[in-house]
């Protein structure tokens, strides 16, 4: 039989973190004498089945053990009883502080003698963890109060608004304080997109030649004015007038230099925006991968936390990290090391609780550890590492040569941009500038070049773009709506509730989302608006800064809000009946009339004989454009192959009529031929409308034959 372990060898110090992955990494760093375990997030919270806020007694919340988490909590309490000391190491933010607070209370109730301390860190590295353990502190009650205020505020709003939606709109709906404002932004943008009608305009380029070099110049002045070419005939008239000029003369040459400073290290918002634009990652996906990199990845020698905490609104970095970055640059890019370190201002109202998002070890380059990472981990780590190192390098410089050419009473312009000094661009790979440099041959004022041919091009004015993950996060941050930890959840909630759907990376409100947004915005204009939501966020910050009391803030909000809820509940007309609209369609199964109903995924047709007849079908969007076909165009989804689930639009007379389009029909008809307009999207023009009729030129690109023959 083996000998019993000595007391000193027992794991007599318990460290409680939030996730198992983080626990494994930290336990490796602390070694013998420590046991690290995970709480798996919140263990104590408000119940879902009732309001659980005592309005009569200072709005105190009635917390319970989260359903399904009792076993975890009991295990933690048992482990704490066997330990000499407990360190609560949940995340260093409001939610993490609340988790630590509730854990301390739960453990203390069962064992009031055990010593319980709070430890925090910004990165999971041996140095940071050991320093945190050497300097334990108390729970920050101001943070706990701020989290409590946010939780109570959201509960009061959600549990007041949702019943109104159940009663007046549809059962099973829900509304949130911040999500409703984000939904309003998306719905307002959709109205702008739908109401926009593109206008046609043309540009004209001349293809010029010097020696063997050919390049293009854009018409920028015609008969003393900036050209406004509205249609095909106007551009042909200009080409006809210019055809007699075989040579263009160089009238002016200007060289301008530009300096581009590197961008600051990432915050949560800028990381989500860049990952969306560069990597096509959703905000939820970005934060999931960042969490993995923060908590620790096995890179051969063991688990290592590769980045600092990923929920931050600060661009600040520590002196240790700054010196490490400058040392790396001095050794690998000595010519790009500035004399002095570079500092960046955080945005106004930034909490600045954490550093910027940066690599924990700058010497662990993306290529060096690539073999240990998944592809998505590698890509996200790469842009974090590149952005951080680049932020401490010299600026890049470009030189742009602009040449003006004259031809009669017309001026054409050509430009050439070259990089003079690469600076921080030397370190960039995934974040490198994607635009290719344009070059034109060297010329002198007074010199003539040959005009080879003209290139007219049709364009249409572009309307506002729908929000994407990147742009809605930017809008939320700019309007001070939400905080770094909430940007991704806001989008996820809207998608999960099917108030918004994602298509071609764009966020589009559903019919259900638009109805809810309209009702809430009209009924609670003071609540569902940007300025009020931003003010609430500022007050939560003031609670954390100990400037105001949480209960006073809630009371100030709740008294007028509760009166408005009572007023809306008694006066708002129910739209439940209006959502079921009679139609001209008959049920092909039983002959009874079909009614238009609103479901989770939008409007559909249902037999009025329900529940005896359960026939349903899609809403017709337009008449079939095929000659002689009396069918209707409806939304369908692919059921087979790689494109399974993809939306397309087809004729109800299929298979007799096989008309199909992937462009969504709109309610607008073509003023030229009367057929319906469809919504199209491409990289050059964004979202625009065009006639479904291929023989109609309304809002279509016009092909122009060579006018130089």
Tell me the C-alpha to C-alpha distance, in Å, between residue 73 and each of 103, 117, 343, 465. 8, 18, 44, 48
In terms of average pLDDT, the best of 242-251, 567-576, 639-648 is 242-251
The label of the residue with tokens 């031809």 reads 407
Q: Which of 165-169, 578-582, 611-615 has the lowest mean pLDDT?
A: 578-582
Is 699 a domain residue? no
Q: Is the model's pLDDT at 8 over the cut of 60?
A: no
**How far is Cα 297 from Cα 21, in angstroms, rounded to an integer?**
9
Neighbours of 559 (CB within 10 A): 9
Q: Is the model's pLDDT at 556 over the cut of 90?
A: yes
Q: Predicted confidence band at 700 (pLDDT cuts at 50, 70, 90)?
A: low
Dihedral Cα 204, 208, 214, 216, nearest 10 deg: -30
What average pLDDT does the segment 347-362 reach? 81
Do 29 and 133 belong to one domain? yes
Q: Is the model's pLDDT at 232 over the cut of 60?
A: yes
Tell me the C-alpha to C-alpha distance, in Å, between residue 403 and each of 133, 222, 246, 342. 65, 16, 18, 36
Catalytic residue among 309, 361, 424, 649: 309
Tell me the C-alpha to C-alpha distance, in Å, between residue 128 and each of 5, 19, 314. 30, 18, 19
What lies within 8 Å, CB to CB, of 531 at 6+ separation is none
> What do you get for the CA distance between the two ends of the chain, in Å?
101
The single-letter DSSP state of residue 255 is E
Is 299 a domain residue? yes
* CATH number, domain with residue 209: 2.70.20.10
Q: What is the pLDDT of residue 4?
A: 44
Do 431 and 447 belong to one domain? yes
**How far is Cα 501 from Cα 494, in angstroms, rounded to an integer?**
8
Q: For the whole model, what pTM was predicted?
A: 0.84
Q: Predicted confidence band at 31 (pLDDT cuts at 50, 70, 90)?
A: confident
Is 3 a domain residue? no
Is 673 a domain residue? yes
Q: Is the model's pLDDT at 251 over the cut of 60?
A: yes
Q: Nearest to residue 485, comparing CAs of 279, 275, 287, 281? A: 287
Q: Is the model's pLDDT at 461 over the cut of 60?
A: yes
Compute the mean pLDDT over every residue in the chain, rounded to the nearest whole number: 90
- Catalytic residue check, 201: no
Domain that holds residue 41: 10-139
Is 66 a domain residue? yes
Do 284 and 217 belong to one domain? no
Q: What is the pLDDT of residue 6?
A: 44
Q: What is the pLDDT of residue 485?
A: 87
Q: Between residues 169 and 237, which one has the greater pLDDT? A: 237
Domain boundary among 441, 460, 479: 460
**How far is Cα 196 from Cα 269, in angstroms, rounded to an integer?**
29
Do 221 and 332 belong to one domain? no
Is 334 a domain residue? yes
Is 335 a domain residue? yes
Buried b (16+ CB within 10 A) or exposed e, 351-390: bebbbbbbbbbbebbbeebeebbeebbbbbbbbbbbbbbb
Q: Are 412 and 226 in contact (CB under 8 A)?
A: no
Tell me the C-alpha to C-alpha distance, in Å, between residue 450 and each of 208, 593, 708. 6, 72, 13
Percent of the chain with pLDDT over 90: 68
What average pLDDT does the segment 393-403 reach? 96
Per-residue pLDDT tens digits for 430-447: 999 877 778 899 999 999
Q: Is the model's pLDDT at 620 over the cut of 80?
A: yes
Domain boundary among 390, 411, 428: 390
Q: Is the model's pLDDT at 181 over the cut of 50?
A: yes
The label of the residue with tokens 């159940």 reads 166
Do 507 and 622 belong to one domain? no
Do 497 and 591 belong to one domain? no
Q: What is the pLDDT of residue 11?
A: 56
Helix, strand, coil % (nearest 5) of the chain? 35, 25, 40
**CA gyration radius, the chain:** 32
Q: Predicted confidence band at 705 (pLDDT cuts at 50, 70, 90)?
A: very low
Percent of the chain with pLDDT over 70: 94
Q: Which two tokens stand for residue 138?
A: 């108390």
* CATH number, domain with residue 162: 1.10.460.10
Do 595 and 687 belong to one domain? yes
The phi-psi region of residue 68 (left if phi > 0; otherwise alpha if psi is between -120 and 50; otherwise beta) is left
**How far is Cα 307 from Cα 385, in angstroms, rounded to an integer?**
9
* CATH number, domain with residue 379: 1.10.290.10
Q: Are 680 and 663 in contact (CB under 8 A)?
A: yes
Q: What is the pLDDT of residue 683?
A: 63
Domain count, the chain: 5
Phi, psi of 354 (to 5 degrees): -125, 160
Q: What is the pLDDT of residue 531?
A: 92
**How far is Cα 318 from Cα 456, in angstroms, rounded to an integer?**
55
Neighbours of 489 (CB within 10 A): 17
Q: What is the pLDDT of residue 2?
A: 43
**How far is Cα 582 from Cα 605, in angstroms, rounded to an integer?**
10
Do 103 and 172 belong to one domain? no
Do 133 and 19 belong to one domain? yes
Q: Which of 287-291, 601-605, 703-707 has the lowest mean pLDDT?
A: 703-707
Q: Is the model's pLDDT at 139 over the cut of 90?
A: yes
Do 563 and 599 belong to one domain? no
Q: Nearest to residue 78, comparing CAs of 169, 16, 149, 8? A: 16
Do 64 and 122 belong to one domain? yes
Q: Is the model's pLDDT at 190 over the cut of 80?
A: yes
* CATH number, domain with residue 22: 3.40.50.140
Q: Is the model's pLDDT at 704 over the cut of 50?
A: no
Q: What is the pLDDT of residue 191?
A: 94
Dihedral Cα 446, 448, 453, 458, nearest 10 deg: -10
Domain boundary among 390, 412, 435: 390
Q: Predicted confidence band at 708 (pLDDT cuts at 50, 70, 90)?
A: very low
Q: Which of 13-22, 165-174, 316-325 has the lowest mean pLDDT?
A: 165-174
Q: Nearest to residue 523, comparing CAs of 581, 481, 563? A: 563
Is 1 a domain residue? no
The label of the residue with tokens 């192959």 reads 641
In terms of average pLDDT, the best of 4-18, 404-418, 595-609 is 404-418
Q: Is the model's pLDDT at 5 over the cut of 60?
A: no
Per-residue pLDDT tens digits for 662-686: 888 887 888 888 888 888 877 666 6
Do 382 and 425 belong to one domain? no
């Amino acid at each position: 039989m083996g000998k019993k372990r000595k007391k000193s060898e027992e794991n007599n110090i318990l460290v409680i973190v939030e996730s198992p992955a983080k626990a494994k990494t930290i336990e490796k760093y602390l070694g013998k004498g420590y046991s690290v375990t995970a709480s798996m997030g919140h263990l104590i919270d408000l119940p879902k089945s009732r309001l659980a806020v005592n309005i009569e007694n200072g709005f105190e919340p009635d917390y319970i053990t989260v359903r399904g988490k009792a076993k975890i909590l009991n295990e933690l309490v048992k482990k704490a009883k066997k330990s000499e000391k407990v360190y609560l190491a949940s995340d260093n933010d409001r939610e993490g502080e609340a988790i630590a607070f509730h854990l301390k209370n739960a453990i203390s109730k069962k064992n009031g003698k055990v010593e319980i301390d709070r430890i925090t860190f910004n990165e999971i590295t041996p140095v940071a963890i050991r320093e945190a353990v050497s300097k334990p502190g108390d729970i920050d009650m101001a943070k706990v109060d701020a989290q409590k205020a946010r939780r109570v505020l959201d509960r009061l709003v959600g549990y007041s608004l949702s019943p109104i939606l159940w009663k007046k709109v549809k059962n099973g709906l829900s509304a949130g304080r911040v999500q409703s404002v984000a939904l309003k932004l998306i719905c307002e943008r959709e109205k702008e997109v739908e109401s926009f009608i593109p206008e046609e305009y043309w540009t004209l380029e001349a293809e010029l030649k010097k020696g063997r070099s050919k390049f293009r110049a854009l018409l920028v002045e015609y008969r003393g004015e900036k050209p406004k070419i509205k249609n095909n005939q106007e551009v042909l008239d200009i080409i006809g007038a210019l055809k007699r000029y075989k040579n263009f003369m160089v009238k002016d040459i200007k060289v301008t230099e530009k300096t581009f400073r590197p961008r600051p290290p990432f915050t949560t918002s800028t990381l989500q925006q860049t990952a969306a634009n560069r990597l096509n990652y959703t905000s939820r996906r970005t934060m999931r991968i960042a969490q993995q990199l923060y908590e620790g990845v096995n890179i051969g020698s063991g688990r290592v936390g590769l980045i600092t905490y990923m929920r931050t609104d600060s661009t600040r970095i520590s002196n240790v990290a700054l010196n490490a970055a400058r040392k790396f640059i001095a050794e690998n890019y000595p010519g790009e090391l500035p004399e002095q370190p570079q500092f960046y201002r955080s945005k106004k109202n930034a909490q600045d609780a954490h550093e910027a998002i940066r690599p924990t070890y700058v010497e662990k380059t993306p290529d060096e550890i690539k073999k240990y990472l998944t592809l998505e981990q590698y890509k996200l780590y790469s842009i974090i590492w590149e952005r951080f190192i680049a932020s401490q390098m010299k600026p890049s410089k470009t030189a742009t040569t602009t040449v003006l050419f004259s031809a009669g009473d017309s001026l054409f312009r050509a430009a050439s941009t070259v990089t003079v000094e690469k600076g921080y661009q030397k370190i960039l790979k995934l974040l490198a500038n994607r635009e290719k440099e344009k070059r034109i041959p060297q010329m002198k004022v007074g010199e003539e070049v040959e005009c080879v041919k003209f290139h007219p091009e049709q364009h249409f004015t572009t309307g506002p773009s729908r929000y994407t993950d990147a742009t809605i996060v930017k809008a939320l941050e700019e309007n001070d709506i939400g905080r770094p930890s909430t940007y991704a959840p806001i989008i996820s909630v809207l998608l999960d509730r099917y108030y918004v759907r994602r298509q071609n990376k764009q966020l589009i409100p559903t019919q259900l989302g638009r109805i809810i947004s309209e009702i809430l915005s009209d009924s609670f204009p003071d609540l569902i608006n940007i300025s009020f939501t931003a003010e609430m966020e500022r007050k939560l910050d003031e609670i954390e800064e100990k400037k105001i009391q949480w209960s006073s803030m809630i009371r100030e909000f709740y008294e007028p809000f509760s009166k408005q809820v009572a007023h809306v509940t008694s006066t708002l007309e129910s739209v439940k009946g209006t959502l079921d609209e009679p139609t001209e369609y008959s049920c092909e199964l039983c002959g009874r009339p079909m009614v238009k109903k609103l479901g989770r995924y939008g409007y559909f047709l249902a037999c009025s004989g329900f529940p005896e007849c359960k026939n349903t079908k899609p809403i017709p969007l337009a008449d079939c454009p095929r000659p002689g076909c009396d069918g209707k165009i409806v939304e369908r989804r692919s059921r087979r192959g790689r494109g399974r689930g993809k939306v397309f639009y087809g004729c109800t007379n299929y298979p007799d009529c096989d008309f199909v389009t992937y462009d969504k029909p709109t309610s607008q008809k073509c003023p030229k031929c009367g057929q319906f307009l469809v919504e199209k999207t491409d990289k050059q023009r964004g979202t625009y409308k065009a006639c479904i009729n291929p023989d109609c030129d309304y809002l279509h690109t016009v092909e122009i034959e060579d006018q130089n023959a």
